Amino acid sequence: MEIVRNADGSLVVPVAPQRHGAASESGDAAARGPDADAAASAPTTRVLHPGEGGYDEALAEWDLQQNPDREPLVSTATGREEALALVHAVATSPDQGVAQVLDGLDDPEACGEALRFVLIGGVHAVEDFATEVAAQKGGDPIPAHQMTKIIGEVLAKLDQ
Protein backbone atom coordinates (compact mmCIF):
# COMPACT_ATOMS: atom_id res chain seq x y z
CA MET A 1 0.00 0.00 0.00
CA GLU A 2 1.26 3.45 -0.86
CA ILE A 3 1.24 6.61 1.23
CA VAL A 4 -1.46 9.07 0.13
CA ARG A 5 -1.06 12.83 0.57
CA ASN A 6 -4.33 14.69 1.15
CA ALA A 7 -4.98 18.26 0.02
CA ASP A 8 -4.68 19.50 3.63
CA GLY A 9 -1.14 18.07 3.87
CA SER A 10 -2.09 15.08 5.99
CA LEU A 11 -0.76 11.68 4.98
CA VAL A 12 -2.56 8.35 5.00
CA VAL A 13 0.11 5.78 5.86
CA PRO A 14 -0.09 1.99 6.03
CA VAL A 15 0.14 0.43 9.48
CA ALA A 16 1.44 -3.07 10.03
CA PRO A 17 -1.12 -5.17 11.90
CA GLN A 18 -0.17 -5.99 15.46
CA ARG A 19 0.38 -9.58 16.44
CA HIS A 20 -1.55 -10.52 19.58
CA GLY A 21 -0.36 -14.07 20.15
CA ALA A 22 -0.35 -17.22 18.10
CA ALA A 23 -3.46 -19.12 17.07
CA SER A 24 -3.79 -22.76 17.98
CA GLU A 25 -3.05 -25.42 15.42
CA SER A 26 -6.77 -25.80 14.81
CA GLY A 27 -7.00 -22.03 14.24
CA ASP A 28 -10.27 -21.57 16.13
CA ALA A 29 -11.08 -18.10 17.48
CA ALA A 30 -11.51 -19.33 21.07
CA ALA A 31 -7.92 -20.52 21.11
CA ARG A 32 -6.69 -17.13 19.86
CA GLY A 33 -8.42 -15.21 22.62
CA PRO A 34 -11.16 -12.58 22.83
CA ASP A 35 -9.08 -9.87 21.13
CA ALA A 36 -8.49 -11.88 17.96
CA ASP A 37 -11.48 -10.48 16.08
CA ALA A 38 -10.72 -6.91 17.22
CA ALA A 39 -7.13 -7.22 16.00
CA ALA A 40 -8.30 -8.62 12.67
CA SER A 41 -10.62 -5.64 12.14
CA ALA A 42 -8.10 -3.00 13.30
CA PRO A 43 -7.47 -0.26 10.72
CA THR A 44 -4.58 -0.86 8.35
CA THR A 45 -3.93 2.84 7.79
CA ARG A 46 -3.32 5.89 9.93
CA VAL A 47 -3.64 9.60 9.17
CA LEU A 48 -0.62 11.72 10.12
CA HIS A 49 -0.74 15.52 10.25
CA PRO A 50 2.22 17.91 10.03
CA GLY A 51 3.94 18.03 13.41
CA GLU A 52 2.96 14.51 14.46
CA GLY A 53 5.62 11.93 15.17
CA GLY A 54 6.62 10.09 12.02
CA TYR A 55 5.17 12.72 9.68
CA ASP A 56 8.50 13.94 8.28
CA GLU A 57 9.67 10.40 7.59
CA ALA A 58 6.34 9.52 5.95
CA LEU A 59 6.48 12.66 3.79
CA ALA A 60 10.00 11.77 2.64
CA GLU A 61 8.77 8.26 1.79
CA TRP A 62 5.75 9.70 -0.06
CA ASP A 63 8.06 11.93 -2.08
CA LEU A 64 10.21 8.94 -3.01
CA GLN A 65 7.07 7.06 -4.12
CA GLN A 66 6.26 9.86 -6.55
CA ASN A 67 9.43 9.17 -8.52
CA PRO A 68 11.20 5.99 -7.40
CA ASP A 69 13.73 6.22 -10.24
CA ARG A 70 14.93 9.67 -9.17
CA GLU A 71 18.67 10.16 -9.10
CA PRO A 72 20.32 10.65 -5.67
CA LEU A 73 19.63 14.08 -4.20
CA VAL A 74 22.10 16.89 -4.78
CA SER A 75 21.54 20.11 -2.88
CA THR A 76 23.24 23.06 -4.57
CA ALA A 77 23.91 26.49 -3.10
CA THR A 78 21.60 28.20 -5.59
CA GLY A 79 18.88 25.61 -5.00
CA ARG A 80 19.13 26.15 -1.26
CA GLU A 81 18.97 29.95 -1.66
CA GLU A 82 15.86 29.63 -3.81
CA ALA A 83 14.37 27.18 -1.28
CA LEU A 84 14.96 29.67 1.55
CA ALA A 85 13.28 32.45 -0.45
CA LEU A 86 10.40 30.22 -1.55
CA VAL A 87 9.58 28.96 1.94
CA HIS A 88 9.76 32.47 3.35
CA ALA A 89 7.47 33.83 0.59
CA VAL A 90 4.89 31.07 1.07
CA ALA A 91 4.93 31.41 4.86
CA THR A 92 4.65 35.20 4.93
CA SER A 93 2.28 35.74 1.99
CA PRO A 94 -0.75 33.50 2.44
CA ASP A 95 -2.49 35.20 -0.48
CA GLN A 96 0.32 34.09 -2.80
CA GLY A 97 0.06 30.42 -3.75
CA VAL A 98 2.89 27.94 -4.08
CA ALA A 99 2.42 27.84 -7.87
CA GLN A 100 2.90 31.62 -8.12
CA VAL A 101 6.09 31.52 -6.07
CA LEU A 102 7.44 28.56 -8.06
CA ASP A 103 6.82 30.45 -11.32
CA GLY A 104 9.15 33.20 -10.09
CA LEU A 105 12.11 30.89 -9.47
CA ASP A 106 15.08 30.56 -11.79
CA ASP A 107 15.55 26.85 -11.07
CA PRO A 108 12.52 25.20 -9.44
CA GLU A 109 14.06 21.73 -9.76
CA ALA A 110 17.16 22.75 -7.78
CA CYS A 111 14.88 24.30 -5.17
CA GLY A 112 12.92 21.04 -4.96
CA GLU A 113 16.11 19.03 -4.56
CA ALA A 114 17.22 21.29 -1.71
CA LEU A 115 13.85 20.89 0.02
CA ARG A 116 13.95 17.11 -0.43
CA PHE A 117 17.44 17.14 1.09
CA VAL A 118 16.10 19.02 4.13
CA LEU A 119 13.13 16.69 4.42
CA ILE A 120 15.10 13.45 4.44
CA GLY A 121 17.23 14.90 7.25
CA GLY A 122 14.24 14.58 9.58
CA VAL A 123 12.81 16.90 12.18
CA HIS A 124 16.12 18.43 13.25
CA ALA A 125 17.03 19.29 9.66
CA VAL A 126 13.62 20.92 9.19
CA GLU A 127 14.05 22.91 12.43
CA ASP A 128 17.55 23.99 11.38
CA PHE A 129 16.26 25.05 7.98
CA ALA A 130 13.50 27.10 9.64
CA THR A 131 16.15 28.81 11.80
CA GLU A 132 18.22 29.52 8.67
CA VAL A 133 15.19 31.04 6.91
CA ALA A 134 14.56 33.31 9.92
CA ALA A 135 18.22 34.35 10.10
CA GLN A 136 18.40 35.25 6.41
CA LYS A 137 14.91 36.62 5.81
CA GLY A 138 14.03 37.97 9.26
CA GLY A 139 11.31 37.13 11.71
CA ASP A 140 10.80 34.14 13.94
CA PRO A 141 11.57 30.61 12.79
CA ILE A 142 8.63 28.90 11.14
CA PRO A 143 7.36 26.04 13.35
CA ALA A 144 8.63 22.66 12.11
CA HIS A 145 5.12 21.32 11.39
CA GLN A 146 4.31 24.37 9.26
CA MET A 147 7.69 24.14 7.49
CA THR A 148 7.11 20.48 6.70
CA LYS A 149 3.64 21.25 5.36
CA ILE A 150 5.05 23.96 3.07
CA ILE A 151 7.75 21.59 1.82
CA GLY A 152 5.08 18.98 1.10
CA GLU A 153 2.98 21.49 -0.85
CA VAL A 154 6.00 22.55 -2.91
CA LEU A 155 7.01 18.98 -3.68
CA ALA A 156 3.46 18.06 -4.64
CA LYS A 157 3.27 21.04 -7.01
CA LEU A 158 6.67 20.22 -8.54
CA ASP A 159 5.61 16.62 -9.18
CA GLN A 160 2.46 17.64 -11.08
Whether residue 57 lies inside any domain: the answer is: no
Residue 97 within any structural domain of the chain = yes
pLDDT by residue (tens digit) across 11-50? 899 987 776 655 545 555 555 555 555 555 566 889 988 8
Note the pLDDT tens digit of each residue in 68-100: 887 777 778 888 999 999 899 888 887 777 888
Domain membership of residue 62 (yes or no) is no
The count of domains in the chain is 1
Distance (Å, whole) CA 37 – CA 111: 49
Who contacts 13 (Cβ-Cβ below 8 Å, separation ≥6)?
Answer: 3, 45, 46, 47, 48, 54, 58
pTM, 2 dp: 0.66
Any domain includes 59 = no
The whole domain housing 99 covers 77-158
Q: Is residue 70 part of a domain?
A: no
Q: Is residue 68 part of a domain?
A: no
